């Protein structure tokens, strides 16, 4: 038997990244595309994904925190990098040529002090809270805040952003209201002679809300091959595979895993996978999710453990230890999508991608292999 490794192998298809980016570009025309590569590029590997995006002509990326941006710079990524959430003002902003997003006046003042001390100019984007209720300047304080920020020495307003509160834009009226509030702030800036790059459109907006495209769009999930927003087919980058650690036979009436939540209603062939919730396969998938073995679906039985997961192989003939098991992806005519696994686990695709993608060994496929 082949030596078994814990966890899964995550295959990342970079050809599909190119396909999805081109699809987005066709959709938004001449607007800039700012890919979101935070959280390790949604579990796909921030450095590897960013390297390809730059190769495909992307000149601006977005991350959540300064540490993520520094990782990209140290890996040789030379594009503009927007830091969305960090409020810490450190020398790294200047050292690594980062573009911080301003969510409060205190951050802007501290950045101005840094710029003055170093006799440098820092380009910034301003975040307007048009309805997310998370970070950014609220509608009633934005104009006053922007006026003060524009007067601070060493800062140059190069961008204006916001974020939709409905990730899937299920309520278009709410989204339209956010775009309207955002446009009011943009007009105020233009009246001050400031013309920043405006971006609010997320993946859902790219697919369904052309009026939100403005100067740039900021896709995340769509880029990685998930599109719950429209019928347009994108190509998933991630496949998740493992191998059977063991094949066992139990008698009718015997139980499987903790809590005896699965009782065999017949003599059952049980497959044991070297993957558990420590590897990102969520415990909430217990007794619910399905995987693919020898081109056929096999249900997860019993509770997902920290290091192991059990599946029912009774109806699949010829299975042996070491056989490939597909957790996400295709095998033969059968497939399991990230969206399906998310639904079975009672969560969202984002959590599946970031959980499984960042906790297992990744390999990258390009040019068909």
Could you give the residue numbers annotated as active site? Answer: 38, 258
Helix axes 349-359, 338-345, angle to 10 degrees: 100
How far CA 305 is from CA of 82, 263, 276, 332, in Å, comes to 39, 16, 5, 28
Q: Which candidate, 76, 199, 194, 50, places its Cα nearest to that of 130?
A: 199
Pairing of strands 290-293, 155-161: unpaired
Angle between helices 105-118 and 142-151 (to 10 degrees): 10
Tokens of 207: 């697919």
Q: If we measure between CA atoms, which residue out of 339, 342, 326, 340 comes closest to residue 9?
A: 326
Residues 6+ apart with CB under 8 A from 312: 268, 269, 270, 271, 298, 299, 301
Given a contact cutoff of 8 angstroms between Cβ atoms, the answer to whether 283 and 16 are in contact is no
Packed helices 14-28 and 46-55: angle between N→C axes, nearest 10 degrees: 50
Cα dist from 49 to 17, 225, 296, whole Å: 8, 13, 32
Cα-based angle 187, 120, 151 (whole degrees, multiple of 5):
35
Q: How many CA atoms lie within 13 A of 32 on its CB side?
A: 18
Whose tokens are 């590997």? That residue is 45
CA distance 335 to 352: 16
Which two tokens mark 38?
A: 């935070």
Task: Report how far residue 269's alpha carbon sits from residue 266's, in angstroms, rounded to the nearest whole number.
Answer: 10
């Amino acid at each position: 038997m082949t030596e078994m490794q814990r966890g899964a192998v995550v295959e990342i298809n970079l050809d599909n990244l190119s396909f999805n980016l081109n699809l987005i570009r066709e959709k938004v025309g001449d607007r800039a595309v700012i890919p979101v590569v935070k959280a390790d590029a949604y579990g796909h590997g921030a450095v590897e994904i960013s390297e390809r995006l730059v190769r495909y002509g992307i000149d601006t990326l977005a991350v959540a925190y300064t540490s993520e941006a520094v990782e990209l710079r140290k890996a040789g990524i030379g594009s503009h990098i927007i830091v969305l959430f960090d409020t810490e003002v450190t020398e790294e902003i200047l050292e690594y040529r980062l573009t911080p997003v301003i969510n409060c006046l205190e951050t802007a003042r501290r950045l101005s002090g840094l710029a003055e001390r170093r006799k440098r100019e820092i380009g910034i984007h301003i975040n307007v809270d048009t309805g997310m209720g998370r970070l950014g300047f609220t509608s009633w304080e934005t104009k006053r805040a922007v006026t003060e920020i524009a007067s601070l020495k060493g800062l140059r307003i190069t961008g204006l952003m916001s974020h939709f509160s409905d990730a899937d834009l299920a309520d278009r009226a709410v989204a339209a209201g956010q775009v309207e509030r955002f446009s009011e702030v943009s007009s105020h800036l233009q009246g001050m002679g400031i013309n920043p790059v405006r971006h609010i459109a997320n993946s859902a907006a790219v697919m369904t809300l052309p009026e939100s495209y403005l100067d740039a769009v900021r896709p995340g999930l769509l880029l990685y091959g998930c599109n719950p927003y429209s019928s347009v087919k994108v190509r998933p980058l991630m496949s998740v595979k493992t191998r059977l650690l063991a094949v066992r036979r139990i008698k009718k009436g015997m139980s499987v895993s903790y809590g005896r939540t699965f009782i065999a209603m017949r003599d059952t062939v049980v497959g044991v996978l070297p993957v558990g919730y420590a590897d990102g396969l969520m415990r909430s998938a217990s007794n619910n999710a399905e995987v693919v073995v020898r081109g056929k679906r096999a249900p997860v039985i019993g509770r997902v453990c920290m290091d192991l997961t059990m599946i029912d192989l009774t109806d699949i003939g010829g299975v042996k230890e070491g056989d490939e098991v597909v957790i996400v992806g295709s095998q033969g005519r059968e497939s399991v999508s990230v969206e399906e696994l998310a639904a079975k686990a009672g969560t969202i695709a984002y959590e599946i991608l970031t959980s499984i993608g960042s906790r297992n060994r990744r390999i990258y496929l390009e040019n068909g292999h």
